[in-house]
Homo-oligomer: A and B are copies of this chain.
Amino acid sequence: MSITGNILRVNLSTKTTALERPGENFYRQYFGGRGLIIHYLLKELALGIDPLGPENKLIFAGGPLTGAPLPGTGRSSVGAKSPLTGAYGDSEAGGFWGAELNKAGFDAVIIEGKSDSPVYLWIKNGQAEIRDAGHIWGKKTAAAQDMIKEELGDNKIRIAQIGIAGENLVRYANIAHDLTHFAGRTGMGAVMGSKNLKAVAVRGTQKTALADPETVKELAQWMGQNVNKVSHLHDLGTACFVTMLNELGALPTRNFTSGTFDGAQQISGETIRDTIYVKSESCYSCPVRCKRVVKVLEPYNVDPVYGGPEYESIASLGSLLGIDNLAAVAKGNELCNSYGLDTISTGVSIAFAMECYEKGILTGEDTGGIELKFGNAEAMLEMIEQIAHRRDFGKILSEGVKRASEIIGRNSAEFAMHIKGQEIPMHEPRLKQGLGVGYMVSPTGADHCHNIHDTYFNVTADMIKPLGLLNPIPLQNIGEEKMRLLAYFGNWIHLGNCTLCCMFVPWSYRQVVQMVEAVTGWTTSLWELLKVGERAATLCRVFNIREGFTKNDDMIKSRWFEHSFAEGPLKGVKFSKEELEQARANYYRIMGWDEDGVPTQGKLMDLGIGWAEKYIGWRRG
């Protein structure tokens, strides 16, 4: 199987490394990614630790398919207690780094403690070395990458690294993988920075073991031949969503006060294709090629080495800020990438400040004279600099909108768009209403990667019938059937977070079962796989319950249920709080959680994780 059986443990305080081999049943229950990470975090982190203290652990993990030449399996995950939310945190990146780690002989790397000076980790074919990074600290990511490759004398090295945002402990700093793939959310870059760890450089030349290479090959060939029938991302990449969502009235605009943006066409995937597009790129073994590299000349000078903006970045640095200048948006994206900032949280933080500014809650006195109005592209670029360097007004925004609004006060909290402290991604809950509830209940706060995207299921139920959901469920609905979809399909998404299979490569349920079997040699089933996903989701829930999160934290911003858009297709659409509370209660029930959202003892038994009972038993009666 592609699982190596080896987990590398690195203690940066003591500068020691160790090898663990938890055995086949461990992998079969927890797989990798989120499942593996939460297993270790829940068992090894003490209650209430500081996410930016040495007690936190940062875990990089692949999954059971990692390294196999199968489209969509190029992802890897990195998790820790989140400095943004105080809850369970993880994020995934596509690319090649995960496969390289597998070929270097490891399924996961657990990083503990804190180095007393900047270091990077060098992993090659079963060996690990902690090396000085003093000379690299403070460098932009591209420069840092060049220096590490040159120093180690191998241009094929894959590098996961933080930029200055992570070094400076910006709470939503990301981890860049080979400059263009990002583990963006939940502030994992800040955790890495807090450990004085600049980078994890990996090189592996071992062959990934496959139980049934012939079937793996057939599956890969099938996707290669059918990708354009089953994926719509080949043409424009994720940027295709700009036009699509704007037409549906759900393109987040001016800090979520509108769902339609006059300048949508100027920042659309079509415009990128026709103007600043350089080339398409892919992840490991993937024919979808959804990545777009862009280049812009004067005055913005966007360096193609940092790739190009995805949909989330275009919306959060564009429409959400009322900016229709594509070159500026591309520059903002490049800056975030080079500094290691999550574009979503960055954009939402600036949007928050802009709305506060326009409403008079902030003035030029607060912002150092910067006119933080919607549409001001130069202000956006300046704020990115300030946030990454944690200086001037940007220092406040570098804390994320939840903390920023607490610092600013003056009713600014109303405009701080987050759930559990994590800034909300570019998907509108008034359209994708199931996703809205998904935002509420996700263990990582507002998150679109551990969530359902209702638009998939609106037209036809074919995709969900094998789950036993037989009827099409309307997009704008949060009734019982939608909550069943959120639970069932949510578990499927969670499985993807454990196999690290990309949601943009639309493998069928059956194909994923076949992939797991062909790679690992296990005889499995969709039942077993969905339980893997549910197990991971439930353990994350346990982690957060233990940390003191309650159902009150599972609520969406009142802006979404109290207000509706003044115009566009979603005009007039809003929820009542009672509807949302009912939906939340139904989701809890279907997940086997009690009315306070605490997983029942029976659910833990059902999932074979009775060992987690001790962490939450005290929360029940």
Q: Using CB atoms and an 8 Å cutoff, list the residues of chain A in contact with chain B.
A: 25, 28-29, 462, 465-471, 480-481, 483-484, 487, 509-510, 522-528, 530-532, 586, 588-593, 600-603, 605-606, 608, 610
Establish whether residues A523 and B470, one from each chain, have CB atoms under 8 Å apart when the complex forms.
Answer: no
Question: Which of B25, B480, B527 is close to A610, meaning CB atoms less than 8 Å apart?
Answer: B480
A385 to B381: give the CA distance in the assembly, Å: 96
Closest to A601 in B: B589
Tell whether A532 pairs with B610 under 8 Å between CB atoms, given A510-B525, A525-B509, A589-B602. no
Closest to A527 in B: B526
Question: Which of B29, B483, B602 is close to A592, meaning CB atoms less than 8 Å apart?
Answer: B602
Tell whether A467 pairs with B528 under 8 Å between CB atoms, given A462-B523, A483-B605, A606-B484. yes
Closest 9 CB pairs of A and B: A589-B602, A525-B526, A468-B528, A466-B525, A526-B527, A590-B606, A468-B531, A25-B470, A527-B527
Establish whether residues A466 and B590, one from each chain, have CB atoms under 8 Å apart when the complex forms.
Answer: no
Establish whether residues B525 and A467, one from each chain, have CB atoms under 8 Å apart when the complex forms.
Answer: yes
Identify 23 residue pairs between A and B in the complex whose beta-carbon atoms are under 8 Å apart, listed by A's number.
Answer: A25-B470, A28-B465, A29-B470, A465-B524, A467-B527, A467-B528, A468-B527, A469-B608, A483-B605, A484-B606, A510-B523, A525-B525, A586-B605, A589-B601, A589-B605, A589-B606, A590-B605, A590-B606, A591-B602, A592-B592, A592-B602, A592-B603, A592-B606
Question: Which of B28, B466, B600, B605 is close to A524, meaning CB atoms less than 8 Å apart?
Answer: B466
Closest to A589 in B: B602
- Besides A25-B470, A586-B602, A589-B605, 11 new A-B residue pairs in contact (Cβ under 8 A), listed by A number: A28-B470, A466-B523, A467-B525, A468-B527, A468-B528, A484-B605, A526-B526, A589-B601, A591-B602, A592-B592, A592-B606
Closest to A491 in B: B527
Chain B residues, CB < 8 A from A510 = 523, 525
Closest to A588 in B: B602
Measured CB to CB, the closest approach of chain B to A489, in angstroms, equals 11
Chain B residues, CB < 8 A from A606 = 484, 487, 589-590, 592
Measured CB to CB, the closest approach of chain B to A612, in angstroms, equals 13
Closest to A28 in B: B470
Chain B residues, CB < 8 A from A532 = 468
Tell whether A466 pairs with B605 under 8 Å between CB atoms, given A471-B25, A480-B610, A610-B480. no
Measured CB to CB, the closest approach of chain B to A464, in angstroms, equals 10
A601 to B469: give the CA distance in the assembly, Å: 18
Measured CB to CB, the closest approach of chain B to A521, in angstroms, equals 12
Measured CB to CB, the closest approach of chain B to A276, in angstroms, equals 42
Chain B residues, CB < 8 A from A487 = 606
